[in-house]
Amino acid sequence: MSGGEKSENEEDVKKKPTKGEKRRGRSPSKREPITDIEDIMFSIDKVQTMRSPLLDWYDLSHRDLPWRRLDKGQPETRGYGVWVSEIMLQQTRVQTVVEYYKRWMHRWPTVQHLSRASLEEVNEMWAGLGYYRRARFLLEGAKLIVKEGGEFPKTVSALRKIPGIGEYTAGAIASIAFDEVVPVVDGNVIRVIARLKAISRNPKDSKLVKQVWKAAAQLVDPSRPGDFNQALMELGATLCTPTSPSCSTCPVFDHCEALSSSKDDSSVLVTDYPAKGVKTKQRHDYSAVCVVEILENQGTSELKQSSRFLLVKRPDEGLLAGLWEFPSVLLNGEADSSTRRESINSLLSKSFGLEPKKNFEIVIREDVGDFVHVFSHIRLKIYVEHLVLRLKGEGSKLFRKQEKKSISWKCVDNKVMSSMGLTSSVRKVYAMVEKFEAEKISPSPAVATKKQRPTSTNLSCRSC
Give the type of residue at 457.
T
Q: Is 373 left (phi over 0), alpha (psi -120 to 50) or beta?
A: beta
- Note the maximum CA span of the chain: 91
Residue burial 263-298, b: 16+ Cβ < 10 Å; e: rest: eebeebebbbbbbeeeeeeeeebbbbbbbbbbbeee
Rounded to whole angstroms, what are the CA distances from 315 to 20, 42, 48, 127, 133?
Answer: 51, 49, 52, 18, 12
Cβ pair 94, 65 in contact under 8 A: yes
CB neighbours of residue 223 within 10 Å:
10
CB neighbours of residue 439 within 10 Å:
13
Query: What sign for the dihedral angle of Cα 404, 147, 314, 308?
Result: positive
**Cα separation, 275 vs 208, whole angstroms:** 11
Rounded to whole angstroms, what are the CA distances from 21 to 17, 269, 272?
Answer: 6, 15, 14
**Cα separation, 165 vs 86, whole angstroms:** 10
Rounded to whole angstroms, what are the CA distances from 294 to 302, 306, 391, 415?
Answer: 12, 9, 7, 15
Cβ pair 123, 132 in contact under 8 A: yes
CA dihedral 399, 403, 405, 408 (to 10 degrees): 40
DSSP 396-450: GGTSPPP-TTS-EEEEE-HHHHHHS---HHHHHHHHHHHHHHHHHHS--GGGTTS
Active site residues: 86
Rounded to whole angstroms, what are the CA distances from 437 to 162, 382, 434?
Answer: 47, 19, 5
Bridge-based pairing of strands 360-374 and 283-295 is unpaired
